Amino acid sequence: MARSMWKGAIQFGLVTIPVKLYVATESRAGVSFNMLHAEDLSRIQMKIFCPVEEEIISRADTVKGFEYAPGEYVVITDEDLESLPLKTVRSIEIEQFVESEAAATHTKFVKQAYYIEPDKIGRKAFALLKAVLQDKGLTAICKVVIKDREALAALDPYENTMVLSTLYWPDEIRALGELDLPEEEPEVKAAEKAMAEQLVGSMTGEFDPAGYQDEYRTALMQIIESKVEGKEVVAVPAAEEPSNLVDLMAALEASVKAAKAAREAGTPPPTSVAEAKAKKADSAKGRASAPAEEAEEAKPARRRKSA
C-alpha cells in the first residue's frame, strides 16, 4: 500500500479539507551503478569525516547548520522548523483561482506531482471543490511547505482525485535572454509551411503512452547481461551525424514520404472501388442463396409409393 509523505489540509476561505499527499511519479528508467575500486573491484564506502577531530563519525552525530558568516554556523533543530509561524507548514493554502488555460503558461515548469487523498471527514468538501474547478475550467494556485521548503503549487482535478503540482518560483526560472535566439522570426514560404503541415498531419494520431518504452535502458541491460554471461559485447553502429540543412523543401518531402510509408506498413493495403463492389455483390449473393439452401434442407423427404 502506498505511504503518504505529507499530511495536512487544503484551506480556502474558512473551509478546511484534511488530506494526505502521495508522490504521483517514480523513476524506474535509470540503471543504478555502484562505485568500485578500479584495482580490486571492491565496493567503496562513503563515510562522514570530521576534519577537526580527524575521525569518522556516524550520521546520528550530525545536525543542521546555517553558515551566517564564513566558518560561523547556527544550529537549526527539527523543533525550530516545526515552530515556523507559517500556515503553509501544515496546510495547502489556496491563494487564488485562475482559468486553467491562462495558468498553463505559468505552470509549465513542474518540480513534482502529488496525488491528493482526502480524509473521510473531508470527502464531500473535496468533491465539491473538485467539481467546481472542473466545471469552471479553473486551477487553484496554492502555497505549501514540503521538506523544509515553501513551494508555489497548482491544484487541478484529475480523474477521481486532484493533483498538486509544485512549481519553480519565478526567480528560479531562467530568462530566455540567456539564449542566442533570433530577434525576428525567419521568413517561411507558403510552400514550406504547407509541406510542414502535411508532414505533421501524417504523424498526427492519438497518444498512447503504453506504446513507448525506454530503449536506452533496454539496450544497456542487454550489455550488462552479455557481460554477466561472459559474452562479447557487439558494438552498435554509430548514428550518422546530422548534416547541415541545405534544402528544407527536399528534407520535408522526404520526411512526408517516409512517414506515409511507415503508416502504410502498419495497415492493410487499400481496397479499390471495383474490388469493394465485387466483394459486396458476392456477399449479397451468398446471403440470398443461404435461405434457399436452408429451405431445401428443411423439406421433409417424400415417401415412395408402395406397389
Q: Which residues are bridge partners to 96 per DSSP?
A: 141
pLDDT digit string (tens) for 66-78? 998 998 999 988 8
pLDDT higher than threshold 80 for residue 299? no
Buried b (16+ CB within 10 A) or exposed e, 203-221: eeeeeeeeeeeeeeeeeee
Distance (Å, whole) CA 94 – CA 192: 47
Which pLDDT tens digit goes with each residue over 198-257?
Answer: 888 888 888 888 888 878 788 888 888 888 888 776 666 666 665 555 577 788 788 888
In order of start, what are the domains of the chain with their CATH numbers? 6-25+83-171 (2.40.290.10)
- Work out whether strand 149-158 and strand 161-167 pair parallel, antiparallel, or are unpaired: antiparallel
Q: Which amino acid is at 54?
A: E
Q: Which helix (H) or strand (E) holds 72?
A: strand 72-76
pLDDT at 274 over 80: no
Q: Is residue 186 predicted with pLDDT exceeding 60? A: yes
16-62 residue pLDDT tens: 999 999 999 887 656 788 889 999 989 998 889 999 888 999 989 99
- Describe the crossing of helices 190-202 and 248-265 by its angle, rounded to 10 degrees: 20
Distance from C-alpha of 86 to C-alpha of 124, rounded to nearest angstrom? 27
pLDDT, one tens digit per residue, over 158-168 is 999 999 999 99
